[in-house]
Amino acid sequence: MDHDTSHLRHREAQEQTNQQQSGQTAIEFATTEEMIRHDAAQIEVPPAIAERLSKSIAAEPKRSLLGRLRFWK
Protein backbone atom coordinates (compact mmCIF):
# COMPACT_ATOMS: atom_id res chain seq x y z
CA MET A 1 0.00 0.00 0.00
CA ASP A 2 2.88 2.36 0.81
CA HIS A 3 4.30 1.72 -2.65
CA ASP A 4 0.98 2.80 -4.21
CA THR A 5 1.01 6.04 -2.21
CA SER A 6 4.57 6.93 -3.21
CA HIS A 7 3.77 6.09 -6.84
CA LEU A 8 0.72 8.38 -6.71
CA ARG A 9 2.75 11.22 -5.18
CA HIS A 10 5.43 10.80 -7.84
CA ARG A 11 2.81 10.91 -10.61
CA GLU A 12 1.16 14.03 -9.15
CA ALA A 13 4.53 15.77 -8.85
CA GLN A 14 5.37 14.86 -12.43
CA GLU A 15 2.01 16.19 -13.70
CA GLN A 16 2.51 19.42 -11.78
CA THR A 17 5.97 19.82 -13.28
CA ASN A 18 4.61 19.20 -16.77
CA GLN A 19 1.90 21.82 -16.25
CA GLN A 20 4.42 24.36 -15.02
CA GLN A 21 6.69 23.72 -17.98
CA SER A 22 3.89 24.13 -20.48
CA GLY A 23 2.63 27.29 -18.78
CA GLN A 24 -0.89 25.92 -18.42
CA THR A 25 -2.90 25.91 -15.25
CA ALA A 26 -5.35 23.23 -14.30
CA ILE A 27 -9.02 24.03 -14.64
CA GLU A 28 -11.57 22.34 -12.41
CA PHE A 29 -15.12 21.83 -13.61
CA ALA A 30 -18.24 21.33 -11.53
CA THR A 31 -19.83 18.96 -14.03
CA THR A 32 -18.83 16.78 -16.94
CA GLU A 33 -21.06 18.84 -19.23
CA GLU A 34 -19.16 22.00 -18.27
CA MET A 35 -15.88 20.29 -19.15
CA ILE A 36 -17.22 19.14 -22.53
CA ARG A 37 -18.51 22.64 -23.34
CA HIS A 38 -15.12 24.12 -22.48
CA ASP A 39 -13.35 21.55 -24.62
CA ALA A 40 -15.73 22.13 -27.54
CA ALA A 41 -15.06 25.87 -27.38
CA GLN A 42 -11.31 25.20 -27.69
CA ILE A 43 -11.50 22.93 -30.73
CA GLU A 44 -12.32 24.00 -34.27
CA VAL A 45 -14.25 21.33 -36.14
CA PRO A 46 -12.79 20.67 -39.60
CA PRO A 47 -15.13 21.98 -42.34
CA ALA A 48 -15.55 18.55 -43.97
CA ILE A 49 -16.72 17.01 -40.68
CA ALA A 50 -19.03 19.95 -39.95
CA GLU A 51 -20.63 19.53 -43.39
CA ARG A 52 -21.11 15.77 -42.92
CA LEU A 53 -22.64 16.35 -39.49
CA SER A 54 -25.03 18.98 -40.84
CA LYS A 55 -26.16 16.63 -43.63
CA SER A 56 -26.61 13.78 -41.17
CA ILE A 57 -28.73 15.89 -38.83
CA ALA A 58 -30.82 17.19 -41.72
CA ALA A 59 -31.48 13.59 -42.84
CA GLU A 60 -32.88 12.60 -39.44
CA PRO A 61 -36.65 12.17 -39.45
CA LYS A 62 -38.50 15.04 -37.81
CA ARG A 63 -40.46 14.03 -34.72
CA SER A 64 -43.42 15.90 -33.44
CA LEU A 65 -43.51 17.41 -29.97
CA LEU A 66 -46.05 14.76 -28.96
CA GLY A 67 -43.64 12.01 -30.07
CA ARG A 68 -40.85 13.49 -27.97
CA LEU A 69 -43.10 13.75 -24.94
CA ARG A 70 -44.07 10.09 -25.23
CA PHE A 71 -40.40 9.18 -25.33
CA TRP A 72 -39.84 10.71 -21.88
CA LYS A 73 -42.63 8.78 -20.17
With bands split at pLDDT 50, 70 and 90, how would you rate the model's confidence at 10? confident
List all residues 6 or more positions away from 35 whose beta carbon is below 8 Å from its beta carbon. 29
Look at 6 and 52; give whichever has higher pLDDT.
Answer: 52
Distance (Å, rounded) from C-alpha 63 to C-alpha 73? 16
- pLDDT tens-digit map of 21-71: 666 678 899 999 999 999 999 999 899 999 999 999 999 887 766 666 666
| Whole-number pLDDT of residue 60 | 86
Q: What is the pTM of this model?
A: 0.39
| Whole-number pLDDT of residue 62 | 79
